[in-house]
Amino acid sequence: RAVFTYCNPGLVILSGYSAEELYDMSSFRLVHEEDRPRVMEQYRTWKKGGTRQMVSEFRVRTKDGSVFWVEQTTHMEFERNGTFVRAFNFVKDITERKAAEEELRRSEERNRTIVATIPDVMFVQDAEGRFLDIHMPDREALLAPAAAFAGRTMEELLSHDELFGALSIRLESPDLPEAATDLASVRTFVSTVILPKLRSAIAGQATQLYHYSLTVNGTTAHFEARLAPFDETRVLHIVRNVTEKVAYEQTLRTMNEELENRVLSRTTELTEANRELEAFSYSVSHDLRAPLRAIDSFSAVLEEEYGGTLDDEARRLISVIRGSIRRMDQLVNGLLTLSRIGRDELRLQRVDMNGFFRAEVDAVLPPGSQHRHSVTIAPLPDCRADETLLRQAVGNLLSNAVKYSSASSNPEIFISGTVRGGMAVYTVADNGVGFDPEQGKKLFGIFQRLHTDERFKGVGVGLSIVQRVIQRLGGDITAEGRVDGGASFTFTLPLAGDER
């Protein structure tokens, strides 16, 4: 019955029963009901077989219902004829150890689950390259079955002609001076490249990496391998098939090359078209001047020599002709300026924009002249530009600011600057008639005007010149405005070297 005939105070504390309650109680009563059949069967087997000492582990349920694990060492005493006399049981609480073991089991189970989802081939190897463990999710991932790797070194494995002898192999790697085309040269790759990296990883150095391509019977696959320290004597060798990645990268490179070639071709075509267009514009503009001068001269002669004999309508028509000629001359000059912007060689230098703007303001609004404009120039950063070319752009911006703010009762022009994103930023703003933001995209188009010629004279070339100049100098320009709310033009230019 395995009843208690003696128990020490430790068992009393452990079980929660008093010594009196334990005497004549079956020791199996303390065993957890789920473990009891197993423990009783072990006890009977040991007793029947005459086993004198054994160790078992099981759960105990105490008087208050608590459960904990114990390790019980049992010594059995028998008569000479084999008759069982009694058993001495020594019990130790191992609850914490079992909890740690259970946590370890769950952790290992989680790790196995995680590893099972990894598509890479993984080996655990020692310093000689001997395969100690292997994870091979795809049976066709290697040239040999997983069982062939167990316990063998890499060189031993490659020495088996029955596994690889019939295969046509070609191995290429950045670490090889030339391709390995037989098993002997593959073994050389292992001994001169892989094993030194493997031993470096075990020695605690950084994770080692190598790449290789393997062609077997005409089919090529690309691999990326990592060797990471596993412990003091072993390394984790991870081999990933990157064939799809390599193919994708090659496709991407091919597409990029094709795109670059197409862009280069289109850029060349566009450059040539622009060159021809500029040459055409220059030629047309230059050739237009001769007939314009003739028309202007003859109309001037008519006005001077025969003006007294002409009636008012005839004189008005001559005046219209001469006004149209002047407008046409402005258009031709604008075209010539636009064509020169792209042709003239740049002479880049540091430009003191504070002095530059003051000089340009004086050119547009000469000191002492009768004008009502108030001009404010805030501190401006210096830039790097072609001063002659820049003068055309800034002069046009200031002339526009003066012209379109002249109808204001208190015309004001404000010039400011800052540095942003490694560029010098300048703004020319006025409080003039402004423009409809919806029409703002037309501002920089050639011959585009947002106001009638009767209200503001012009030919619609000035802002096209400004944009072309700023872009030629490596910057950009934008405009903001609202009807009767003024306009502001902001442009960028490369900073002078020491202001970057």
| CATH (one of 3.30.465.10, 3.40.50.300, 3.30.470.20, 3.30.565.10) for 346-499 | 3.30.565.10
State percent of the chain over pLDDT 70: 85
Q: CA-to-CA distance for 256 and 334, rounded, in angstroms?
A: 41
Please report, for the chain, the start and end positions of each structural domain, with discontinuous segments joined by +. 9-100, 118-241, 346-499
pLDDT given at position 500 = 47
CATH topology of domain 118-241: Beta-Lactamase (3.30.450)
Residue 172, SS3? Answer: strand
Region 24-34: mean pLDDT is 89
Phi, psi of 81 (to 5 degrees): -85, 5
Encode pLDDT of 433-479 as tens digits.
Answer: 888 787 767 777 665 555 545 554 555 577 888 888 899 889 999 98
pLDDT in tens, 71-112: 999 898 888 888 888 888 898 999 999 898 888 888 878 877
Question: Nearest-5° angle of CA 346, CA 348, CA 349?
Answer: 155
For 336-379, what is each residue's pLDDT tens digit?
A: 666 666 666 788 899 999 999 999 998 888 776 657 888 999 99
Rounding to the nearest 10 degrees, give the CA dihedral for residues 267, 272, 277, 283.
160
- Provide the terminal-to-terminal Cα distance of the chain, rounded to the nearest Å: 96
Q: Which fold is adopted by the domain 9-100?
A: Beta-Lactamase (3.30.450)
Residue 383 to residue 492: CA distance in whole angstroms:
9
User: Could you say which DSSP state residue 379 is in?
Assistant: -
C-alpha span between 400 and 354 (Å, rounded): 20
pLDDT band at 116 (very low <50, low <70, confident <90, very high): low
Give yes or no on whether 118-241 and 346-499 have one common fold.
no
pTM above 0.75, yes or no: no
